[in-house]
């Protein structure tokens, strides 16, 4: 009780505002009224954290809907030690947990739990009426409880501004560290795992208009083992790119310098990325017999309108006649819908048309696909030119959150 009373007192006297001047956010139903940035009070503890700067950061989260516990905003103001993460050789979730414990926590506590996965649809196209470049993204994922009921997740919006790096905003499914909807004020959840937030991203954009998202593939996970290269896990790679590159070309060149490791036994991932110059690409790691062998060959697929969209099967020509490529049905209907929609618009869409495409391929709770990738948690239209995006939760199209990065 004394600890909870302390945190409650600290929150009532806390006067810092969550967002720095470099980042803007708004939430709207119809009137685009900006959300007041007052930290959300909580009595939850953070048992593995003692550093005052880290505690200030953890207790500065804002529930963007007041008290619904569905979407929180976090300004990650301390050093998340990216160089150390790269040098640590993180090749999967276990080693990511070890890194977070060793470098970002202040004390050992109860064992940390982390799980990572991603479904999704994504596309990129210009808006020729404005000269802006857009990227659309649905994050699709089902979390099921032991009672076979769907678990409601919290979305955590993470703003970063690393010293010597690029400002960015990225998006996290809180249940990947087993935070459920309302975790921040439930009186039970330990908030220490918020320290891992920069390395839990599923998509994001940086100050130069480079954006990236990750999408699930079936088959064995990527496992590159070149002894002359350092090894990075999926999310560490995404964090590295948001912090350090400005364009798709720079991103693909950087990825070639590292071993990529993805560690779920029955799935791999590919990346979809786009930038403010209008460039876009799909990055896949391919190989023969990926149902039994780890794919290791990095391919960059770009500079063709048929590569402006992607879902959950390999699109590389080298995977055309394979179970998880050309013969796969995972996300096939969503893929076909994006293809037809973009063709209808001649690969030129406004922001409202981009949202319509996301609606078209979104998945509801009663949809035909009840697999792990069968439920749309959030939908985003990124304006890469303006470094801004809109976000809708769980197909609630009449309520839009807006985020941006200012110069």
Domain CATH for 340: 3.60.60.10
Please report whether residue 80 resides in a domain: no
Binning pLDDT at 50, 70 and 90, where does residue 26 land? low
107 within domain boundaries: no
Of 236 and 370, the one with more pLDDT: 236
| pLDDT over threshold 60, residue 195 | yes
Q: In this structure, is residue 325 part of a structural domain?
A: yes
Instruction: Give the H/E segment covering residue 215.
Output: strand 211-218
Interatomic CA distance for residues 189 and 179, integer angstroms: 7
pLDDT at site 288: 86
Highest mean pLDDT: which range of 105-114, 315-324, 334-343: 334-343
Is the pLDDT at 360 greater than 80? The verdict is: yes
Separation of alpha carbons 221 and 214, rounded Å: 14
Total domains in the chain come to: 1
Q: By percentage, how much of the chain surpasses pLDDT 70? A: 86
For residues 241 and 208, the answer to whether their CB atoms sit within 8 Å is no
Q: Is 370's pLDDT higher than 60?
A: no
pLDDT at 25: 53
Which pLDDT value is given to residue 148? 82
Residue 128 has pLDDT above 60, yes or no: yes
* Alpha-carbon distance values, 68 to 14, 41, 65, 201, 263 (Å): 21, 13, 6, 22, 33
Please write the tens of the pLDDT for every residue from 198-222. Answer: 999 999 999 999 999 999 999 999 9
pLDDT confidence of residue 108: 79
Is the per-residue pLDDT at 367 higher than 70?
Answer: no
Residue 407 reports pLDDT greater than 50 = yes
State how far the Cα of 242 lies from the Cα of 339, in Å rounded to an integer.
Answer: 27
Strand, coil or helix: 86: helix
Kindly state whether residue 355 falls inside one of the protein's structural domains. Answer: yes
Range of 386's domain? 121-405
Q: Which residues of 269-305 are buried (b: 16+ CB within 10 A; e: fewer)?
A: bbbbbbbbbbbbbbbbbbbeebeeebbbebbbbbeee
Asked whether residue 77 is assigned to any structural domain, the reply reads: no
Say if 349 falls within a structural domain: yes
pLDDT at 161 over 80: yes
The reply to whether 353 falls in a domain is: yes
* Percent of the chain predicted with pLDDT > 90: 77
Residue 109's pLDDT is 62
């Amino acid at each position: 009780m004394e600890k909870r009373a302390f945190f409650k007192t600290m929150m009532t006297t806390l006067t810092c505002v969550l967002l720095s001047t470099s980042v803007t956010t708004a939430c709207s139903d119809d009137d685009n009224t900006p959300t007041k940035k007052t930290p959300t009070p909580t009595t939850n503890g953070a048992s593995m954290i003692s550093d005052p700067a880290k505690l200030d950061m953890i207790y500065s989260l804002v529930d963007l809907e007041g008290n619904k516990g569905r979407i929180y905003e976090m300004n990650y103001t301390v050093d998340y030690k990216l160089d150390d993460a790269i040098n640590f050789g993180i090749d999967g979730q276990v080693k990511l947990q070890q890194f977070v414990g060793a470098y970002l926590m202040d004390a050992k506590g109860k064992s940390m739990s982390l799980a990572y996965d991603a479904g999704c649809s994504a596309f990129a196209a210009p808006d020729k009426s404005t000269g802006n470049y857009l990227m659309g993204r649905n994050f699709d994922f089902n979390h099921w409880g032991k009672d076979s009921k769907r678990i409601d997740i919290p979305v955590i919006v993470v703003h970063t501004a690393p010293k010597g790096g690029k400002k960015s905003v990225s998006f996290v499914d809180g249940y990947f560290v087993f935070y459920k909807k309302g975790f921040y004020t439930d009186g039970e959840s330990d908030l220490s795992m918020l320290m891992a937030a920069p390395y839990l991203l599923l998509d994001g954009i940086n100050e130069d208009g480079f954006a990236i998202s990750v999408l699930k593939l079936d088959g064995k996970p990527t496992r590159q083992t070149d002894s002359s290269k350092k090894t990075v896990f999926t999310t560490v790679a995404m964090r590295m790119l948001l912090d350090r590159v400005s364009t798709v070309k720079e991103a693909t060149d950087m990825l070639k310098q590292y071993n990529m490791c993805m560690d779920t036994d029955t799935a791999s991932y590919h990346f979809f990325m786009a930038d403010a110059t209008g460039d876009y690409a799909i990055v896949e790691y391919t190989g023969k017999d990926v149902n039994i062998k780890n794919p290791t060959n990095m391919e960059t697929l770009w500079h063709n309108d048929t590569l402006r969209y992607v879902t959950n099967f390999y699109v590389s020509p080298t995977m055309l006649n394979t179970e998880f490529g050309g013969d796969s049905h995972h996300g096939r209907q969503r893929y076909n819908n994006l293809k037809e929609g973009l063709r209808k618009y001649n690969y030129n869409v406004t922001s409202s048309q981009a949202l319509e495409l996301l609606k078209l391929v979104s998945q509801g709770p009663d949809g035909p696909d009840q697999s792990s990738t069968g439920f749309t948690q959030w939908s985003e239209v990124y304006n890469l030119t303006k470094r801004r995006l809109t976000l809708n939760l769980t197909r609630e199209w009449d309520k839009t959150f807006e985020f941006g990065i200012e110069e």
